[in-house]
Amino acid sequence: MTTPATEKARYYLTTPIYYVNARPHLGHAYSTIVCDAIARRKRALGIDTWFLTGTDEHGQKIERSAKLAGCGEYEFATRISGEFRGLWDKLGLTYDDYIRTTEERHKRGVQKLFSTLKERGFIYKGSYTGQYCVSDEAWVDVPPGAPCPDCGRITETVSEENYFFKLSAFERRLLEFYEENPGFIGPESTRREVISFVRSGLKDLSVSRASFSWGIPVPGDEKHVVYVWLDALANYITALGYGSDEPADQARFKKFWPADMHLIGKEISRFHCVYWPAFLMAAGIETPRSVRANGWLLFDQGKMSKSRGNIVRAETVMEVLGADALRYFLLREIPFGQDGNFSFDALVQRYNGDLANGYGNLVSRVVNMMHKYFGGVVPETGATTEAETALRAHTEAAIAGFGPLFDELNFSEALKSLWALVAETDGYLTVNAPWKKPAERSDEDHAALQARVLGTAAEAIRVITALAYPILPEATAKVWQQLGLGEIADAAKNSFLTSVAWGGLKPGTKFGEPAPLFPRAEKDAVARMVALEEENNKSVIEAAGGPSQPAPDEPKILPPQKTATPKSEIKPESKKMEETKPTPVAETPAAAATSSNEAAPVTQAAPAEQPPAASVVEEKQYITIDDFVKVDLRVAQVLVAERIPKADKLLRLEVDLGYEKRQILAGIAQYYEPEKLIGRKIVIVANLAPRKMRGLESNGMLLAASLPTDGAPVLAGFLEDVPLGARLK
Ligand code: MSP
């Protein structure tokens, strides 16, 4: 599929806006790097390009993450948004605008969109009870307590009076729209999925939330905030100026909307291909021209994501191999649209094979020989032989083939074919060996051969460099200098990709000094990257106060301005819990939420009297494995959760262990809405002696992390599905 606007004078492309509940990792960098490469190529083709990225900062997920990190939502979002932006700058990404959904310009635009939808009769008020997946910020059609079909996390039952969008009214129109615009969704697998989703029937969509407040207030009814996906999707128009009265904003919106391409991850195609066009149709705004879904970057067999704990940071790759190496690897290794594995070994192999020994070595050979034999000045190539004709033909075929493959987002094949030309040019040099003068060849003939071969190879390199510029902006800038062609960025501004043709390197051109491009990665490169990641993980965990602090699905981020708290200084406010009598089990670090009789962890020595961290380790009291196995930890599911009259901190739970059901009292009423616990899988201490509280018997204890900030419990849970009664050991 060719993006429809390739020939147009302007091009607007967007990345998804990233949630600020997690720090950026390679999965996020992937989409942004792809967009950057496209934007660079479009600009170098003389197309007026607008590349937008930004951060998605509202919603329940962010509200909870901020709470867990112990800081205000805006402050929290500002910090993480700054990390994303900082990383994009470090990577040299050329976005034209960076939108944060907490900005005033966005809020104004979202409220205008909401009001427009309401005025046009597409939003009404109603009540709703359904399952909500906080992680995906999505309503899902599953029974109470069932996991989210997309991400597998437990859904929450939400019962609210909400505003609804008449999505059902768009079923036919959307199907017609897909039919009339076959290029709207890509790849084909995503298109088929979307169409079958719409064909299976569309229900009206709840587009406001009233049970939390971190969002954009619904105009005229501020108890509600706009549903985070309606809020987020609108960024594509609010960033251009939708909702603004400023003439400059209105002109930008008029110029760049509709978007030529929204680049997204495949799991968010429903939002972009169903909801978004429906919202726009309802509001009377043009629909985007295309949505393209990338696959997932996998690491250690799974989607790279913070909740799996299998992330790799772009900074690590940059530090050891450079930003271009990362860009090249991601675009060459992963056929766009498919899932692709990331591994340090594969990265180093590609780097050494294609960049250090391939392109880098070729450039270095030719530039050095040009200096050595011709004082760095490009000679007249003279009469050509069959070998030059063949290389020229191959180069011209590469010029003709590269653009269409790239514009179809088939970066992998585009690079593969260009690197075939790298290999061909290398082979041409080797066969003609301009450094070797056979005895029978006259000096004159040898000089002519050197001029012909080096001039021809340099010309092939010039073409390769021009075409590779959007993918390897740093390296190609260096090569352009070495070829004596000046700043590649200036060439890009002058639309040099519109006229890439054989014969651009003129005799007399003075080469720049040779400079290393891709120094060969040594054996320890993988080990260095692994060590950098480990170091980072360690420092993040230490900064968060020790390994037991962050919940598995939450960002490992500390509130700002707080120094790391040694583990021994953590003083959970056990007074917040119902009855605080400690038991041996409650002293294990993970046992924070309690049944009736258990307290939060009790490591309470006064900070002033704390020995240094090292001696804390020495004095640690170890338990044996035999001690540990005495604690019977089991997976259970909450069947019933309710408040206990006159006990404002206690909840009564009935839990199912698979082999039996039992009642547990837990001091978590201030932190968990009982109805949201129903169906949730938790961990309990199953062999704790029963104890009576408020006339009720408690048979066990819940396990939870205790937040260092206020002792709030965060229940332990699982990412994978686990059978009831499974033992933790
Ligand atoms: N905030 C929403 C998007 C709103 S757009 C109006 C969101 N944010 S996200 O941070 O969870 O994901 C942003 C993008 O990063 C998605 O396209 C997602 O697919 C991408 N990736 C996150 N991890 C990824 C991989 N491991 N691999 C490839 N892309 C992945 O969804």
The pLDDT tens digits for 441-480 are: 999 999 999 999 999 999 999 999 999 999 999 999 999 9
pLDDT for residue 597 is more than 80: no
Which residue, chain included where needed, has tokens 């616990």?
Answer: 677
Protein residue with least CA distance to atom 13, ligand 1: 18
Q: What are the pLDDT digits (tens) for 3-46?
A: 454 445 899 999 999 999 989 999 999 999 999 999 999 999 99
- Cβ–Cβ < 8 Å for 378, 507: yes
Peptide bond into 589 cis (omega under 30): no
Q: What are the pLDDT digits (tens) for 555-567?
A: 333 233 222 222 2
Q: What's the whole-number average pLDDT of the chain?
A: 86
Ligand 1 atom with minimal separation from the 297 CA:
27
State residue 666 phi and psi, 5-degree precision. Answer: -135, 140
CA of 411 to the centre of ligand 1 (A): 20
The amino acid at residue 277 is: P
The confidence score (pLDDT) of residue 717 equals: 85
Ligand 1 atom with minimal separation from the 298 CA:
26
d(CA 319, CA 322): 6
Please compute the mean of the pLDDT values over residues 407-422 and round it to a whole number. Answer: 98
The confidence score (pLDDT) of residue 605 equals: 27
Protein residue with least CA distance to atom 30, ligand 1: 27
CA of 18 to the centre of ligand 1 (A): 6
pLDDT band at 689 (very low <50, low <70, confident <90, very high): confident
The confidence score (pLDDT) of residue 103 equals: 98
Can you give the pTM of this predicted structure?
0.76
Please compute the mean of the pLDDT values over residues 61-80 and round it to a whole number. Answer: 94
SS3 content of the chain, % helix, strand, coil (to 5): 45, 20, 40
Which residue, chain included where needed, has tokens 């088939």?
Answer: 410
pLDDT band at 543 (very low <50, low <70, confident <90, very high): low
Lowest pLDDT segment from 171-180, 618-627, 710-719: 618-627
pLDDT for residue 201 is more than 70: yes
What sections of 375-442 are H helices per DSSP?
A: 386-407, 411-432
Choose which residue among 17, 19, 28, 298 to substitute to test ligand 1 binding: the one with the highest number of ligand atoms within 8 A of its C-beta: 28
The confidence score (pLDDT) of residue 396 equals: 98
CA of 29 to the centre of ligand 1 (A): 10
The confidence score (pLDDT) of residue 549 equals: 34
The confidence score (pLDDT) of residue 297 equals: 95
The confidence score (pLDDT) of residue 645 equals: 76
The confidence score (pLDDT) of residue 650 equals: 87
State residue 634 phi and psi, 5-degree precision. Answer: -135, 155
- Cβ–Cβ < 8 Å for 550, 568: no
More confident residue, 542 or 270: 270
pLDDT for residue 676 is more than 60: yes
CA of 401 to the centre of ligand 1 (A): 31
pLDDT for residue 540 is more than 90: no
Choose which residue among 21, 32, 56 to substitute to test ligand 1 binding: the one with the highest number of ligand atoms within 8 A of its C-beta: 56
- Cβ–Cβ < 8 Å for 653, 665: yes
The confidence score (pLDDT) of residue 513 equals: 97
CA of 28 to the centre of ligand 1 (A): 6
pLDDT for residue 708 is more than 80: no
The DSSP symbol for 347 reads H
pLDDT for residue 334 is more than 80: yes
The DSSP symbol for 639 reads E
The confidence score (pLDDT) of residue 145 equals: 77
Lowest pLDDT segment from 312-321, 556-565, 712-721: 556-565
* Sign of the dihedral through C-alpha 360, 361, 367, 368: positive
CA of 264 to the centre of ligand 1 (A): 7
Which residues contact ligand 1 via a Cβ below 6 A? 16-19, 27-28, 30-31, 56, 232-233, 235, 264-265, 267-268, 294, 296-297, 303-305
Name the token pair of 422: 């790298």
Please compute the mean of the pLDDT values over residues 396-423 and round it to a whole number. Answer: 98
pLDDT for residue 573 is more than 70: no
pLDDT for residue 397 is more than 70: yes
Choose which residue among 13, 31, 333, 343 to substitute to test ligand 1 binding: the one with the highest number of ligand atoms within 8 A of its C-beta: 31
Please compute the mean of the pLDDT values over residues 70-75 and round it to a whole number. Answer: 96
CA of 265 to the centre of ligand 1 (A): 6
pLDDT band at 640 (very low <50, low <70, confident <90, very high): confident
pLDDT for residue 580 is more than 80: no
Q: Which residues pair with 715 in a beta bridge?
A: 704
Lowest pLDDT segment from 236-240, 425-429, 577-581: 577-581
Tell me the CA distances in angstroms from 294 to 50, 189, 266, 272, 307, one per residue in order.
Answer: 20, 11, 6, 13, 20
More confident residue, 245 or 653: 245
Choose which residue among 227, 264, 311, 342 to substitute to test ligand 1 binding: the one with the highest number of ligand atoms within 8 A of its C-beta: 264
The amino acid at residue 190 is: T
The confidence score (pLDDT) of residue 591 equals: 31
The confidence score (pLDDT) of residue 595 equals: 31
The confidence score (pLDDT) of residue 585 equals: 25
Q: What are the pLDDT digits (tens) for 133-175?
A: 988 989 898 888 788 888 888 888 888 899 999 999 999 999 9
